[in-house]
Chain A
Amino acid sequence: MDKKPFSELMTGILAACLGIAVFCYSRTLKPAELGIGAGGYLTAVGVIFIILGGIQTVLTLRSGVGKPVWHIDAQKELKVVLIILTMVVYLLLLEYLGFLIMTPLLIISEMAVFGIRNWWKSIIIALLFTLVVYFLFTEVFMVFLPRFSLF
């Protein structure tokens, strides 16, 4: 049988721990005389997590644990981190700088992360797409996207 990566073992242990936490939390909720009450459903979910986490842990230990850490391709993961970072920065500033300023910046930076080096192409696509989406949502769908509100 092939050895399983360490992450498989961690998954099992984490699931079981989550199950225990959910189970303990569910016991703090008020029980009902009839029916399952507020905590009954969570108790069941907690038990399911404990059982499945236990099975995952046992299965991994039975087949043996391989490498101590899972393989990470730093360059590829960096791209994902950058994608997430651009989204986070976009959301933090969206309320103040508005959709029309922030969205082209988001598109251009994400295109750069994806490997597009033709800046003029990125800028033109970003501006056109932002304007089309802005017009469509504010004028047709009546969704009022955030506007510049620093002053």
Chain B
Amino acid sequence: MEYIISGFMTVFQPEAFLLMVFGVIMGIIIGAMPGLSGSMGIILLLPLVYMLSGDVALVMLCGLFCGSMYGGSISAILLNTPGTPSAAATVLDGYPLAQQGKAGKAIGISSFASFVGGIVSSLCLMFIAPQLASLALNFQAADYFSLSVFGLTVMAGASGGSLVKAFLSSALGLLIASVGMDPVTGSPRLTFGSYKLMSGFDILPILIGVFTLSEVMMKACSGSRPVSSGKSRIDKVIPSFGEMRSVLKVALMGAVIGVLIGIIPGTGGAVACFLAYNIARRISRNPSLFGHGSLEGIAAPEAANNGTTGGALIPMLSLGIPGDVVTSVMLGALVLVGVRPGPMLFVENPHLVYTIFSGMFVIQFLMLGFGFLFARISPRILRISREILMPLIVVICMVGAFSIGNQIYHVWIAVFFGIGGYLMRKFGFPAAPLILGVILGPIAEENLNRALIVSGNSISVFFTRPISLFFLILSAASVIWNIYSHIRKN
């Protein structure tokens, strides 16, 4: 209780509160713009993250995460184009409502459902994450190694597309992570005589290159078009009490689905929103309205995708394994500010953990307020064209990479990984497993080494420890399931 109060006190301090508001607003704007994602938003804020303390940086990033999840629904409703993949199901009923002249009502219900989803996921985060972390305190080196293997296999499996390519992406991440001094013997590896490579690659230029610069190149390649005509009319935004009551049941159901899906590493809002939408249609009293402008059809997926936010933070904070792409980028950002998520975080820095929990609650209220507010000006935001936005994003990326150590070298690295990321996208390689490989590679190597040293080079330690065995079985099951699904699909 003491930590919760202290967390709320930190969140309401002017600096943290203002940055949280900034994060939510940025998140809504970024989420609303098709082509910009929550992960890109976090990368664009990284230069700012550097200057902040861990807890303040985290609540700002959480604000952006939740805001972008909600923001995706605005363009889904107004433009028939989801701002983020997590808002894909919102299109189905949101756009028909906008065509009926009820865009304001649709955005209002989306804000309310996102709020319900966010509150439920914040509650689950507060209660489940500490339990999972206390369980993870019993982990030893072998268990951490197996957990890293599990994280890599699940993320690769859930990336979509070719399974082999996803695993190749992971392997490339592991290879990139090995550049520099070996953590145990101190021998240089893959440095090719360059002293700059002795310390390996910083995660920030890799994130900037692979996620953002490559996205700019993809956008240049995909041709030009205006983002919005900006002609949508926004009527009454705040829903009536009756409307809120009518969608509460499906919103709660969607929120629970979102949390459960979010906890599973490698999944995310895109899966949760369709699952919630289908279940909502089945339990609805008016299933025929679905697809033609049902309020329940908006509430269920919106509550679900915001439910995944807290859910995805559970494995990230308690185990150090991200739940989705955005949390994997967030994990990279946290490493930058010296915060290493995992069970020890709950022991060593409970204040930070409970600041995040408290921040998540406050963020939901901010998101509700700004959601209603932004609904009216959203058509104007959507008019900003990609042709103007992309060059400005390039500049922020350049400055962000430069700010790591005031060196142009890091900007070159970002551009190098940008070209690599572009080629990966072109040839169907997902980026998220690569980033996870870079993050989890050193953890896997260090713990593999430690486990083997302690056990006298016996690999049986990975199979005799129940936790390690459990994760290895889960990893194998995940790979087998993905292969089976792939074969069945073809």
Q: Does A24 contact B (CB under 8 A)?
A: no
Chain B residue nearest in CB terms to A116: B387
Write out the residue numbers on chain B whose beta carbons fall within 8 Å of the beta carbon of A22: 175
* Known contacts A22-B175, A114-B224; is-contact A133 B217 (Cβ 8 Å): no
- Tell me the number of A-to-B contacts counted with CB atoms below 8 Å: 159
The binding surface of chain A is classed by DSSP as helix
**B1 sits at the interface (CB 8 A):** no
Bound: A107/B387 CA distance, A: 10
Cβ of B351 under 8 Å from chain A:
no
| B403 at interface, CB cutoff 8 A | yes
Contact residues in A for B47 (Cβ distance below 8 Å): 137, 141, 143
Q: Check if B9 is an interface residue, CB within 8 A of chain A.
A: no
Closest-CB distance, B275 to chain A (whole angstroms): 29
Q: Is B399 an interface residue (CB 8 A)?
A: yes
**B488 smallest CB distance to A (angstroms):** 14
Task: Tell me the minimal C-beta distance from A114 to chain B in angstroms.
Answer: 4
Whether A20 is near chain B, meaning CB under 8 Å from some CB there, is no
Number of B positions contacting A (CB below 8 A)? 59
Pick from B167, B221, B427, B452: contact of A34, CB below 8 A. B452
Contact of A107 with B408 in the complex, beta carbons under 8 Å = no
Give chain B nearest CB distance to A135 CB in angstroms: 12
A80 touches B171 (CB 8 A): no
Residues in A with CB closer than 8 Å to B216 are 83
Residues facing A in B370-388 (CB within 8 A) are: 386-388
Contact A114 B399 (CB under 8 A): no
Contact flags (1/0) for B171-193 with A, using CB distance below 8 Å?
10011001000101101011000
Which residue of chain B has the shortest Cβ distance to A25 in the bound complex?
A: B190
Residues 137-151 of chain A, each 1 if its beta carbon lies under 8 Å from chain B, else 0: 100011111100000
- On whether the beta carbons of A34 and B168 are closer than 8 Å, the reply is no
Let me know if A114 and B408 touch, CB within 8 A.
no
B202: Cβ under 8 A from any A Cβ:
no
- Measured between beta carbons, the chain B residues less than 8 angstroms from A53 are 168
Pairwise interchain contact A52-B399, C-beta atoms closer than 8 A: no
- A17-43 vs B, CB cutoff 8 Å, 1 = contact: the mask equals 000001001000110101111101110
B contact residues around A49 at 8 Å (CB): 168, 171, 175
Q: Is the beta-carbon distance between B175 and A45 smaller than 8 angstroms?
A: yes
> Of B103-111, B314-322, B411-419, which stretch is located at the interface?
B411-419
The yes or no answer to A127 lying at the interface (CB within 8 A) is no
CB contacts (< 8 Å) of B395 on chain A: these are: 103, 106-107, 129-130, 133
Measured CA separation A103–B392 after assembly (Å): 10
Seen from chain A, the residues whose Cβ lies within 8 Å of a Cβ on chain B are 1, 7, 11, 15, 22, 25, 29-30, 32, 34-38, 40-42, 45, 48-49, 52-53, 55-56, 59, 73, 76-77, 79-80, 82-84, 87-88, 90-91, 94-95, 103, 106-107, 110-111, 113-116, 125-126, 129-130, 133, 137, 141-146
Cross-chain pairs A/B with CB under 8 angstroms, 13 sampled: A7-B427, A11-B427, A30-B185, A34-B452, A36-B445, A41-B448, A42-B178, A80-B422, A87-B213, A91-B412, A113-B220, A114-B391, A115-B387
Task: Please name 11 further chain A to chain B contacts, defined as beta carbons within 8 Å, in addition to the given A103-B395, A114-B219, A143-B399, sorted by A numbering.
Answer: A15-B168, A52-B171, A76-B221, A80-B422, A83-B217, A91-B411, A94-B408, A107-B392, A126-B391, A144-B406, A145-B399
